[in-house]
A and B are shown apart, each in its own frame.
Chain A
Amino acid sequence: MRKIIFVLNSVLLIWSLGASVQAQTYTPVKDIEAVKQKIATASKNMNSMQSNFSQEKYMSVMSQKIQSKGLFYFKKNNQVRWEYTEPYKYIIVLAGGKIQIKDEKKVSEYDMNANKAFKQINDMMIQLVQGNVLNSTSYIIKYSESSTNYLLDMTPTDKKLKSMFKNIQLYFDKNTYEVSSFKMIENNGDYTLIKFSNKKQNVAIDASKFVLK
């Protein structure tokens, strides 16, 4: 019971921090090209990333949000590990054209090319994590800023993305020009907010992190 209360408190703390980022006042960016250039440089220089993450899924049919958290690993090119630790332990690795999923019982492996839905979502999320969306023709992007963050409010123009998301909000840390959180808002208003914390960029990540056994 204490453990559950502790987890709930931790989740609430992360959630409230997330809410404070969202609640800031944003005004349009004046020099968009300068911001784009700095974000592009930061994105280009990111070869790997290791981070904690918290995830919040809001669904209109539920009065409470689904909260989860874990560890995130990314390594160029396109190697991703989502390691969920709360409330349920499972790991998803996307690398080498394969999707591997490990739960408490076993490892399942699928060919990513045979799963277009998963591939499309994964490709989009890698772009978001890297901040590599500036020249994408799949979105109309509005740039705004607060005292601590840049916000890229992205409205999909691509037919497939448009059918999935109303818009995607990508938040960048103003000091590092790295992605700090993103919010994917679906057409019915449901959304998922993913926030990164304790980020470490360009650290050595062992290849074994991207292979599940």
Chain B
Amino acid sequence: MFLFFIAFQVSKAQDSIVSFFNERDTVYLYHTLLDVYTFHFSGVMAIKKLETQHRIIFSTETGATLFDFTIEKNKCKTNYIMKEMENPIFVKLIKTDLLDLVQSYLEKKNYTDKVKVSNYSNSNFRLDNNGNQNIVYISGCTIDFINNKNIYKTISHIKSDENGIVSYVINIIHNNLPIKIELSKFYNTIEE
């Protein structure tokens, strides 16, 4: 019975994994732990999908804003970042991860013509990462980012809701770098 339940959940997520963070004017709130090299932060991350953008605001639990980014068309613009966080390496890494998180190929159908063949046999589909050489491999609730046939980053969505559009837990793990980002659903999703 338990195995059936797991299978059911994965099956649901497989159909809708590309639509995470894609409901317009919806705010997704997550309690978030960021471990990026020597930078360690915890707080609340608000992700809002606008018409063509994602706005991401990360604040400490007690409310002070640490950064505020706008993501649009594969670019991440800084609206605000706390001085102490302005390390260029940190900013580049966190922006790339957030971009990959919210722009995980918003419309599956848009990318089917970009499918590339790799050695991975069980993938649902594969695609170019918008012109870069990296291959993105999506299977069930996991998105692997592959470079030279090695998985260098994994974004895993754990437990999605009934409609498969909100993940309860999301982990971003780098295999070759000391970077780990954990998001846990904080609050009911807010529809604006």
Contact = CB atoms under 8 A, between A and B. Distances in A.
Contact of A184 (B48, B64, B83, B187): B64
B161 to A, nearest CB: 15
Contact of B65 (A87, A88, A186): A186
Contacts of B33: 101, 103, 108
Contacts of A164: 64-65, 82
B60 A103 contact: no
Interface residues of A: mostly helix, strand, loop or mixed? mixed
Nearest to A190: B65
A194 B46 contact: no
Contacts, number: 92
A52 to B, nearest CB: 15
Contact size class for B? Answer: 20 to 34
Interface stretch (B1-9, B35-43, B125-133): B35-43
A117 to B, nearest CB: 4
A188 B80 contact: yes
B63 interface: yes
Interface string B44-84: 10101000000101011111111010000000000010111
Contacts of B41: 115, 117-118
Given A118-B41, A120-B84, A121-B60, A88 B187 contact: yes
Interface string A28-56: 00000000000000000000000000010
Given A66-B29, A186-B65, A190-B65, A118 B44 contact: no
A59 interface: yes
Interface residues of A, number: 40
Given A64-B190, A66-B29, A108-B33, A125 B62 contact: yes
A62 B27 contact: yes
Interface of A: 4, 55, 57, 59, 61-64, 66, 82, 84, 87-88, 90, 92, 99, 101, 103-104, 108, 110, 114-118, 120-121, 125, 160, 163-164, 184, 186-188, 190-192, 194
